[in-house]
Amino acid sequence: MKKRSALFIALGMIASAQALAQETLRYGLESQYPPFESRNAQGDLEGFDIELGKAICQVGNFDCKWVESSFDALIPALQAKKFDAINSAMNITAARAKSIDFTKPIYRIPSMLIGKQSEKLEPTAAALKGKNIGVLQGSIQETYAKKHWEPQGVTVTAYQDQNQVYNDMVAGRLDGTLVMSAAGQSGFLDKPQGKGFAFAGKPVEDDAVLGSGIGFGLRKGDAKLKGELDAAITKVQDNGTVSKLAAKFFPGIDVTARQ
């Protein structure tokens, strides 16, 4: 009887351990887009999406890994199973939803134009006619600029790295950039190279292009992972984690997503 009881206890412990076993979750990201994701002086990943990803792993009982890619290659890499979910400030749009699925929206950031303060630009085709505007390749800002501005005589130049856009603005090769406001503030305006530049006008609007908010990109039909991540996202929204991270990385910006 004692041996049988010991066997049952052992089996129960094994079953409990298996139930608590963590599922590996590989995040794909483009790591040159502060304050969402970047590498610090020690080479460690940091930023809003990094801390958000870790929080979701904690509440969802995932073992997180990180895989880097250029932003425009994230969707093909996801489809090629190089990672399991895109966690890289990717907005949920109808165009992207043709290729991949998304979790529920987690947060939302407005897109704004940055230019020289002395130029007093406005984010309209008429005001930008003859100007050269830089955008991140594969971004919704590129899609918006090419839809609304390029046909009206605005040159839209796409870059694989947003930091290259800022460098060319400082060098005078670009007149401005359309970027997510939080990224533009932290990644450029708050730095010495951003002196003399500022946001120009109000955020641009086009829900069809700019989407309903930012979520994690998933492979088509990955219903199990979507269910697990949606549940974890709801938890970090309800327990205040998303709001706390927003206050830390995007002070003054309402990041509430449209559900």
Q: Which residue has the higher pLDDT, 33 or 57?
A: 57
What does the pLDDT read at residue 259?
60
Q: Which residue has the higher pLDDT, 54 or 2?
A: 54
Read off the tokens for 57. Answer: 């792993």
Read off the tokens for 238. Answer: 């309800």
Mean predicted confidence (pLDDT) in 213-237: 97
Q: Which of 31-45, 55-69, 245-259 has the highest mean pLDDT?
A: 55-69
Residues linked to residue 252 through DSSP beta bridges, in sequence order = none
Query: Residue 151 — left, alpha, or beta (φ > 0 → left; ψ -120 to 50 → alpha)?
Result: alpha
Sorting pLDDT into bands at 50, 70 and 90, what band is 14?
very low
What does the pLDDT read at residue 254?
82
Q: Are 108 and 258 in contact (CB under 8 A)?
A: yes
DSSP, res 173: S
Mean predicted confidence (pLDDT) in 175-189: 94
How do the domains of the chain map onto residue ranges? 24-108+212-250, 111-210
DSSP, res 100: -
- pLDDT mean across residues, the chain: 91
Q: Quick one: which of 31, 44, 41 has its CA closest to 163?
A: 31
Please state whether the peptide bond connecting residue 105 to the residue before it is cis, i.e. omega within 30 degrees of 0: no
Going 73 to 89 to 123 to 160, the CA torsion angle's sign is: negative
What does the pLDDT read at residue 10?
45
For 162-181, the pLDDT digits (tens) are: 999 999 999 999 999 999 99
Q: What residues contact residue 209 under an 8 Å CB cut-off, 6+ apart?
A: 93, 95, 140, 143, 144, 147
Q: Are 141 and 111 in contact (CB under 8 A)?
A: yes
Nearest-5° Cα angle at 28, 27 to 31: 115
Read off the tokens for 128. Answer: 């930008």
Going 136 to 141 to 143 to 145, the CA torsion angle's sign is: negative
Q: Is 177 helix (H, G, I), strand (E, B) or coil?
A: strand
pLDDT at 8 over 60: no
Sorting pLDDT into bands at 50, 70 and 90, what band is 59?
very high
Calculate the CA 155 to chain-centre distance: 25
Phi (first) and psi of residue 87, to 5 degrees = -125, 80
For 81-137, the pLDDT digits (tens) are: 999 999 999 999 998 999 999 999 999 999 999 999 999 899 999 999 999 999 999
C-alpha to C-alpha distance for 124 and 140, rounded to whole angstroms: 16
Residues linked to residue 217 through DSSP beta bridges, in sequence order = 86, 102
Mean predicted confidence (pLDDT) in 225-232: 98
pLDDT at 20 over 50: yes
Q: Is 62 exposed, middle or buried (0-12, 13-18, 19+ CB in 10 A)?
A: buried
* Half-sphere exposure in the Cβ direction for 138 (13 Å, CA): 16
Sorting pLDDT into bands at 50, 70 and 90, what band is 212?
confident
List helix spans (H) across 87-177. 94-97, 125-128, 140-148, 162-170
